[in-house]
Amino acid sequence: MLRKHVWPLAALFAVGAITLSACGGATGGTAAPATPAGQSQSAEDSGATDASLLSGTPKSNKADEKSGDMAPADAPKEVKERWVSLRSSAAGELDPVVVNGSGFTLYRFDKDTAKPSKSNCNGDCAVTWPPVTVAKGGKVFIAGVKKEDVGFVKRDDGSIQVTLGGWPVYKFSKDTKPGDTLGQGVGGTWFGVTPDGQKAGPTAKPAPAPAPKPDAKPATSVTVFTGKNFDDTSGNNFAAGIANPGCNDLRGAFQSLTVSGSIKIWSELGCKGTSKVVTDDVADVAALGFTAGIKSVFLG
C-alpha cells in the first residue's frame, strides 16, 4: 500500500502540497443560519453577512495572525473583523467552552434571546463585554463547532455579531490572558458558551466522541493537531494538513482533528493497528480509544 508522509502545515503550504480547507439596551436583529463551509450567504434584511465558514483554526488556514481576533488592541476595526475563530476547548473548570483565536473564553448573556437572536448588550455593557463581530465577507474558522450552530445577528450600530445556537457571543474585558474565565457567572446572567450555544460548566467526565454519520461522503482532506482541543499554538503543538488519497503516515502522534466527511484513523503507521471511522471533528482522540494518538489516516 502506498503511504505518504505528512509534514507540518507551514512546510506543506510552502510547496503547494495541500489545499485546506451589565447591561440592558436596545434590540439587535434576527440571526441568519450559516451556510456550508466555503459557501457564502447574504441576507441584508436579517443582518447576515457574506461570511465563509472554514474548518480548522486561523493557523491551519494560514490566516494573518496580526488581524482577526489575534489583532493588536490598537488595530483598526476593519482589521480586527477580517476573521473570527470559534474553537471548542477547556478553560478553568469549563469544559467544553468556546475560545477565540487568541485562546480567550467566549460568553453568552441570559438577557439576550436566541429565537429570534437578539443582543441586549449595548453601550457601556458592550465595553465590558465586547461582542464578537465579523465584517461582511469575513471568515469564521470553526474547530469542534458545527456549521449549523453558527449564525449572525445585526447589532444596533450596524455591526454583525456571531451567534452560537442563536445566542450572541461576547468576550469579557476583565479576562486578561488565555484560559481566564472571570466572566463565568457574573451577575447570574453571564456564562461561558458551549459549541452549541448552551451555558458552559464543569464537566465530570469527557464528552463522548461524535458517532460516525452513516451517510457521510468520503473526505478529501483532514487537519490533524498534536494538541487536544485543536490546539496548534501552545508550546510545540502544531497542525498538519492531509489531502492525499490513500494511506498517509503522520510524523508524530496527533490528538485531535477537524474533517468534513468520512475518514479512517489508525493507531499505527501504515494504516495498521486499531482503526476507527470518523465523520466529524474530534477534540480528543483518546475518547475513541487512541490514548497514544493517531499515527496514520486513510482518505478515499
Q: What is the pLDDT of residues 148-164, one digit of tens each?
A: 999 999 999 999 999 99
Domains of the chain: 22-192 (no CATH), 222-299 (2.60.20.10)
Task: Tell whether the model's pLDDT for residue 33 goes beyond 80.
Answer: no
Q: What are phi and psi of 34, to 5 degrees?
A: -75, 150
Once rounded to an integer, what is the mean pLDDT over residues 177-202?
96
Is the pLDDT higher at 12 or at 3? 3
Inter-residue contact 78 to 141 (CB < 8 Å):
no
Task: Tell whether the model's pLDDT for residue 260 goes beyond 80.
Answer: yes
Mean pLDDT of the chain: 86
Task: Tell whether the model's pLDDT for residue 34 goes beyond 70.
Answer: no
- Sequence-distant (6+) residues with CB within 8 A of 113 are 120, 166
Provide the percentage of residues in the chain whose pLDDT is more than 70.
Answer: 82
Provide the percentage of residues in the chain whose pLDDT is more than 90.
Answer: 79
For the chain, list the strands marked E by DSSP: 3-6, 32-33, 52-55, 83-91, 94-99, 107-109, 113-114, 117-118, 139-143, 150-154, 160-164, 167-168, 190-192, 222-225, 239-242, 246-254, 256-259, 263-268, 272-278, 294-299
pTM (2 d.p.): 0.84
- Sequence-distant (6+) residues with CB within 8 A of 214 are none
Task: Tell whether the model's pLDDT for residue 31 goes beyond 80.
Answer: no
Q: In the chain, what is the greatest distance between 2 CA atoms, to the nearest angstrom?
A: 62
pLDDT of residue 202: 83
Helix, strand, coil % over all residues of the chain, rounded to 5: 10, 35, 55
Model confidence pLDDT, tens digit, residues 47-85: 456 899 999 999 999 999 999 999 999 999 999 999 999
Task: Tell whether the model's pLDDT for residue 35 goes beyond 90.
Answer: no
pLDDT of residue 204: 54
- CA–CA separation, 21 vs 133, rounded Å? 22
CA distances, 129 to each of 105, 112, 178, 183, 292 (Å): 12, 13, 16, 9, 40
- Sequence-distant (6+) residues with CB within 8 A of 92 are 105, 179, 180, 181, 184
